[in-house]
Amino acid sequence: MQADIRSDLTNWCNAIEDKIESMDRKQNRILESTANISEWVEGLQAVVKEIESQVGKVTNASDKIVSTASPYQDALLEGPGRMGKKAVDGRVLYDIE
* Residue 86 in domain: no
73-93 pLDDT, tens digit per residue, is 565 556 555 444 555 555 544
Name the DSSP class of 70: -
54-67: per-residue pLDDT in tens? 887 777 777 666 66
Residue 53 lies in a domain: yes
- pTM over 0.75, yes/no: no
Question: Does some domain include residue 82?
Answer: no
26 lies in which domain range? 2-69
Query: Would you say residue 95 lies in a domain?
Result: no
Q: Is 94 part of a structural domain of the chain?
A: no
Instruction: Assess if residue 24 is contained within a domain.
Output: yes
Total domains in the fold of the chain: 1
Please give the Cα distance from 93 to 73 (Å, whole number). 8
Query: Is 48 contained in some domain?
Result: yes
Please report which residue ranges of the chain form alpha helices under DSSP H.
2-68, 72-78, 90-96
